[in-house]
Chains A and B, each alone.
Chain A
């Protein structure tokens, strides 16, 4: 190509002024300019067309065909989409996502940015908060799934919940204990009680089995015969009715049978109220005293035997969306923080100083000066996150175990399931994608407009 073809010679500047009218390019050169412009634009246009425009149009067309792709069915896919339950859950979950995740990320990011703004070593802290951004969503999903496992031995969250819980509540000492059969006591919905009513002044023993010797508390002594009860008392012994190594008579006290200390014992009156309660001593003996003469049912309440606190089933249908949103926040709060931090560092600090001198408290400085000035950045972060959240896929795909997958469904995952993951209906899948596109579009427009405005300023 000659030089003239690339850049047509600039017409001499003086010429139009001498003529008194601007020189118009001749139709030939205008043609050539257009061609050159097109030549420069072509690579980008071809790429955009092949990678964005064509797939988009094809998807829209494909959504009007059935699963085979041969038969035109009009709006049918859209009708199916809006009448199916799983799409409905997906849309509902997407709404929850959009309402919770962007706000939470932005607010957290704002808090981190503002607080870290003033301290030394802030870069180290920012790096830590930002670090999850460097992890792939898939890996993050695996991490969170592990953390929220229900079994406290596997999931760190439940492990810490159980640990904290055991500090504040007395652990039930004898999970799994049950009464020795045919000894006048029965198990009843978790508790162990006398079969019939026991009169004051008599004794009620509780020989129990189903406890390992090794689970007994160290202070446990040999089970002893209870004291003879007074007229307003009922007494008895609770013991482990097993002799290590064998021997002894079932249901009777004897050598080697250990008392069960710290078991709560209630005297239940006929109307169901608890008339008295006591706790067994180291040798397993108890005395219920201060009773009105009469008969009572003696019961060892269920709190003695239940399994104790086992944590929350995080990955169950009721919590799963919350857990996934949490993992999303863990990743994206760092992004929000970095964006907002850069907004903060571009801000003129004397404004805050001026406000302080004007009598504003730190909180007022933040709400009246810092936050309004950060508004443009906050909006960009917020809108970007909304777009991001609408098309969330990886985390929702990875974290929930099979049983709670339907409850965690979102549009993008539904689209994948319907078209590739078993459904094999790419017509319906395309319709779902079109829905997603329609939802994302307004936010894209907002963001592009903002960028434009900023460039113009």
Chain B
């Protein structure tokens, strides 16, 4: 068990001018489940592979516990990794796959068999121990890959999109299994995914990456309630937050026909115009009255809830708007509605830099 620390860790691929991972500073607590999330090509897998020792660290350092592992080869880092394609050794049985690391470490045969069996029980793999990976289903292979990591009892688990090859239903099931297993074992875990739902449901904390730069680290709640910039705001949450430009007015920002109050201090450096963000569930829809005029294009019914998709014009530009509405009573396509935000849940960002302007809401 150990903490993991990245200090200014950078990875620059030879022949490329922009680093794939740009001086990341990150501390992962002992026993914590940290999810690295971001769109594809954001450097999250590279970060994980740097921690695994599969990618060189161009500058900066990585520590596991008190040990500087920056230049330690992967075999000596005492970590276990679950790969996206599972990377099961095709010429070995499930038991041999799971016991491979122990065999390399010179663990006696009986102890090895015992530990493999123990892990197999945990993952319901007992009946398959003598099979080759080829004869297993996708979900079973995924569990073998997990088992291979568990048997090691390593200091850190690394998981590189381990659920992306499973079908949707199995993914949701396995998601909870992995999270609860991690909590039971209490092993520090770094988990990479591009799926923000996975990140929100599994992680103790989430680190959002974009273009190799760490955007924000925090609990799922923090990321959802107080994204530090436009990117995190748009990335976390589904359907995504509505983001559009708005003019600054006296005492707040213009929102169609009304002014939503925003603390004056926050808008001091903002200039004439800001980007505002409202999550779909924080949009109040009314058929009459004040607010931003929205033409309804389509309404998605999800039973209890519905999502209203519409568009409006802000400063002559078309802006798409999503709002959560009641499943039983909602406007229909073609109607015109007026929307206003929940004032406590309005996110205001700088127009140029995209940085958050209002302080986080604390209720």
Contact B101 A358 (CB under 8 A): yes
- Closest Cβ neighbor of B77 among chain A residues: A357
Q: Cβ of B316 < 8 Å from any Cβ of A?
A: no
Q: Cβ of A354 < 8 Å from any Cβ of B?
A: yes
Q: Cβ of A364 < 8 Å from any Cβ of B?
A: yes
Contact A369 B85 (CB under 8 A): no
Smallest beta-carbon distance B107→chain A, Å: 11
Contact B85 A348 (CB under 8 A): yes
| Neighbour of B104 across the interface among A348, A353, A364, CB < 8 A | A364
Q: Cβ of A15 < 8 Å from any Cβ of B?
A: no
Contacts of B260 in A (CB 8 A): none
Contacts of B100 in A (CB 8 A): 355, 358, 360, 368
| Neighbour of A359 across the interface among B83, B91, B105, CB < 8 A | B105
Interface string of B177-220 (1 = CB under 8 A from A): 00000000000000000000000000000000000000000000
Complexed CA–CA distance, A361 and B73 (Å): 9
- Closest Cβ neighbor of B81 among chain A residues: A357
Contact B73 A356 (CB under 8 A): yes
Contact A359 B54 (CB under 8 A): no
Q: Number of residue pairs across A and B with beta carbons under 8 Å?
A: 60
Contact B74 A353 (CB under 8 A): yes
| Neighbour of B87 across the interface among A354, A359, A361, A364, CB < 8 A | A354
Contacts of B236 in A (CB 8 A): none
Q: Cβ of B80 < 8 Å from any Cβ of A?
A: yes
Interface string of A341-356 (1 = CB under 8 A from B): 0000000101101111
Contact A348 B87 (CB under 8 A): yes
Contact A350 B75 (CB under 8 A): no
Complexed CA–CA distance, A355 and B92 (Å): 12
| Neighbour of A356 across the interface among B74, B84, B89, CB < 8 A | B74
Report if A357-B75 is in contact (Cβ < 8 Å); known contacts: A350-B83, A350-B85, A364-B104.
yes
Contact B91 A373 (CB under 8 A): yes
- Closest Cβ neighbor of A375 among chain B residues: B91
Number of interface residues of B (CB under 8 A): 25
Report if A353-B105 is in contact (Cβ < 8 Å); known contacts: A359-B75, A361-B75, A373-B90.
no
Contacts of A358 in B (CB 8 A): 75, 80, 100-101, 104, 148, 152
Complexed CA–CA distance, A23 and B66 (Å): 79
Task: Kindly identify, within residues 46 to 92 of chain B, every residue whose CB is under 8 Å from any CB belonging to chain A.
Answer: 52-54, 73-77, 79-81, 83-85, 87, 89-91
Contacts of A356 in B (CB 8 A): 53-54, 73-75
Task: Kindly identify, within residues 136 to 160 of chain B, every residue whose CB is under 8 Å from any CB belonging to chain A.
Answer: 148, 152, 158
- Closest Cβ neighbor of B145 among chain A residues: A354
Smallest beta-carbon distance B278→chain A, Å: 42
- Closest Cβ neighbor of A350 among chain B residues: B87
Contact A355 B73 (CB under 8 A): no
Complexed CA–CA distance, A358 and B76 (Å): 9
Q: Cβ of A372 < 8 Å from any Cβ of B?
A: yes
Contacts of A357 in B (CB 8 A): 52-54, 74-75, 77, 79-81, 158
Complexed CA–CA distance, A364 and B148 (Å): 18
Contact B104 A359 (CB under 8 A): yes
Report if A353-B75 is in contact (Cβ < 8 Å); known contacts: A358-B104, A359-B101.
no
Smallest beta-carbon distance A352→chain B, Å: 9
- Closest Cβ neighbor of A349 among chain B residues: B87
Contacts of B81 in A (CB 8 A): 353-354, 357
Complexed CA–CA distance, A360 and B81 (Å): 14
Complexed CA–CA distance, A351 and B74 (Å): 14
Contact B91 A353 (CB under 8 A): no
- Closest Cβ neighbor of A351 among chain B residues: B87
Complexed CA–CA distance, A356 and B87 (Å): 12
- Closest Cβ neighbor of B80 among chain A residues: A357
| Neighbour of B75 across the interface among A348, A360, A368, A373, CB < 8 A | A360
Complexed CA–CA distance, A350 and B165 (Å): 15
Smallest beta-carbon distance B151→chain A, Å: 10
Complexed CA–CA distance, A361 and B75 (Å): 7
Contacts of A359 in B (CB 8 A): 75-76, 101, 104-105
Contacts of A369 in B (CB 8 A): 89
Complexed CA–CA distance, A373 and B84 (Å): 20
Contacts of B54 in A (CB 8 A): 353, 356-357
Smallest beta-carbon distance A119→chain B, Å: 13
Report if A351-B89 is in contact (Cβ < 8 Å); known contacts: A357-B74, A357-B81.
yes
Smallest beta-carbon distance A190→chain B, Å: 60
Smallest beta-carbon distance B301→chain A, Å: 42
Contact B83 A353 (CB under 8 A): yes
Smallest beta-carbon distance B250→chain A, Å: 59
Complexed CA–CA distance, A266 and B81 (Å): 75
Contact A353 B90 (CB under 8 A): no
Complexed CA–CA distance, A369 and B158 (Å): 21
Give the top 5 A-B pairs by smallest Cβ distance, nearest first: A358-B101, A350-B87, A354-B87, A356-B74, A359-B104
18 A-B contacts (beta carbon < 8 Å): A350-B83, A350-B85, A351-B87, A353-B87, A354-B83, A355-B100, A356-B74, A357-B53, A357-B80, A358-B75, A359-B105, A360-B104, A364-B104, A368-B100, A368-B104, A369-B89, A372-B91, A373-B90
Seen from chain B, the residues whose Cβ lies within 8 Å of a Cβ on chain A are 52-54, 73-77, 79-81, 83-85, 87, 89-91, 100-101, 104-105, 148, 152, 158
Seen from chain A, the residues whose Cβ lies within 8 Å of a Cβ on chain B are 348, 350-351, 353-361, 364, 368-369, 372-373
Known: A350-B87, A353-B74. 4 other contacts (CB 8 A): A350-B85, A353-B83, A360-B100, A364-B104
